[in-house]
Structure 1
Amino acid sequence: MGMMKTMKRRLMSAAVAVIFLFALTGCLYPDEQRQAHVRPSQEYITLVQIAVNQFQEKSGVLPIKNSTMETPIYEKYVIDFKKLMERNLLNEPPPNAFESGGNDYYVLVHVEEEPTVKLMDIAAMQSVIDIQRAVDSYRSEHGGRIPAAEALTPGWYSIDYDLLKMKPLQIPSPYSVQSLSLMVNEATGDVMIDYSSEMMKLIQQQGKVSFPEGEDLRELLVQSSPYIPVRSYPYDWNGERPVPALENQY
């Protein structure tokens, strides 16, 4: 409880500073920032976090859109800005939000313990969906075989784009300046982004050499960045490096 109160005090202090700053500019979201690819601002995330906290305190529920049991855990709880605006907790969605023409969905993680606002890169998600369609089509025409190139880890392969008659695709990483590649699951045909290199950098920075059995290493990315690892499987530690699980357990 003490930690929650401390976090709320910090959020409130940050919000006061943000509101004061925007008051000086004359509007909540300046016109020059109303564009489709506005980069995320921590001030926007802080304002949405405060609005979410207030909504939950007043209603006892979270301001989220409906999802299904099959929706991946980090993509499951998309914030419904209409609910926040109906209660006058926000005037409008942030400029980088999809609802404002931006390139990010605002989502919640850790909803059972401490609902926390994060971002989901829509462009990255759509790129994976496009490749998934191509892989599904290839599998249906080739007896369930995947367009596999090289084996990455047990059950996972890089994609042979020549077989798909497509150009190789690299996803800009939300965690660094590098690009991320896609991989395909041999059993299910699922196409996912490979985040192992980003996880390994964090592990090396933190000097960790072991992790509890069953710990999902994607949390390293969630804790270190505003962005969730969109289109990803859980990752385990194999004693040397992060490896994607054979099945999406979450």
Structure 2
Amino acid sequence: MYPQDKLAKNQVPYESQIEEVQKAVNKFQKDNDGILPIKTKDQSTPIYEKYPIDFKKMIPNYLSDAPGNSYENGGIFQYVLIDVENKPKVKIFDLRIAEKVREIHMRIDAQGYPPFKDQVSKNVYTINYKKIGYKEEPYAISPYTNNNLPFVITTKGEIYVDYSSDLYQALKNNKEHVKQGEDIRSILTKNSQFVPAYSLPYTVDEKNEPIFLTK
């Protein structure tokens, strides 16, 4: 009974745990001349995975332990910071998405070349899963809508989750004005504990519908 009970707890994004980490991060930053308790990542790391929280830097002075649902404590969530230049906010993402991305990459590497299917935007394609041995298309579960989200592949062979349907829903419900050419992913993080992990930038077209933001 115990392991299953523990596993269930580790899969719940408790708001109280996120709030506790937020308070600890705020105090750490105040006590350390603006320095944040984060792990160093490469400059090219996508923005929503770029600032993972380093709990070792906060234990025991600011936290007694890492949250039970965090990766560091056997959970499925990676704790990250966003808006680090202005007002750092603690958010999370589900590491099972990272596992799925890794699995697709491994199959592509085994085949030797990316299985491009249909072009959906400049340098962005759907994936021909049959070519890499899938009988059914893999998907990520949206932290915003619980819908199944597809994956896309870039011409560089990088795998991303396609959050178009989530963004479409958010734009429909969102009264704020968004501009063409600006990255609109922040509308997903505004009222959620989650970041859109493994996502490409998006903007809106003339109909105010989400499209990939291509350079």
TM over 0.5: yes
2:56 match: 82
2:7 match: 35
Q: Is the 8 A contact 2:11 2:77 kept in 1?
A: no
Distance 2:181 2:214 in 1: 13
2:162 match: 194
Matched, 1:183 2:156: no
What's the secondary structure of 1:52's corresponding residue? Answer: helix
Q: Sequence identity, in percent? A: 33
2:85 match: 112
Once the two structures are superposed, residues 73-104 of structure 1 have per-residue CA deviations (whole angstroms, 9 ceiling, x without a partner) of: 110111111111142x1111111101110000
Q: With a CA cutoff of 8 Å and minimum separation of 6, indicate the structure with the bigger relative contact order.
A: 2
Counterpart residue identity of residue 150, structure 2: S
Pick one of 18, 24, 41 that aligns with 1:67. Answer: 41
Once the two structures are superposed, residues 33-76 of structure 1 have per-residue CA deviations (whole angstroms, 9 ceiling, x without a partner) of: 74364311111111000000000000121011111112111101
Q: Is the 8 A contact 1:35 1:95 kept in 2?
A: no
Q: CA RMSD in A?
A: 2.0
TM-score (structure 1 length as normaliser):
0.77
2:139 match: 170
Pick one of 168, 174, 185 that aligns with 1:218. Answer: 185
Distance 1:206 1:120 in 2: 22
Pick one of 30, 34, 44 that aligns with 1:57. Answer: 30
**Once the 2 structures are TM-superposed, how far is the Cα of residue 157 of structure 1 from its aligned partner?**
1.8
Counterpart residue identity of residue 181, structure 2: G
Where structure 2 has 5 or more consecutive residues not aligned to the other structure, the ranges are none
TM-score (structure 2 length as normaliser):
0.89
Distance 2:20 2:182 in 1: 31
2:115 match: 147
Once the two structures are superposed, residues 204-242 of structure 1 have per-residue CA deviations (whole angstroms, 9 ceiling, x without a partner) of: 01256x622432111111112111111111112122321
Q: How many aligned positions are there?
A: 209
Once the two structures are superposed, residues 11-38 of structure 1 have per-residue CA deviations (whole angstroms, 9 ceiling, x without a partner) of: xxxxxxxxxxxxxxxxxxxx99743643
Matched, 1:126 2:94: no
What's the secondary structure of 2:190's corresponding residue? Answer: helix
Distance 1:188 1:244 in 2: 16
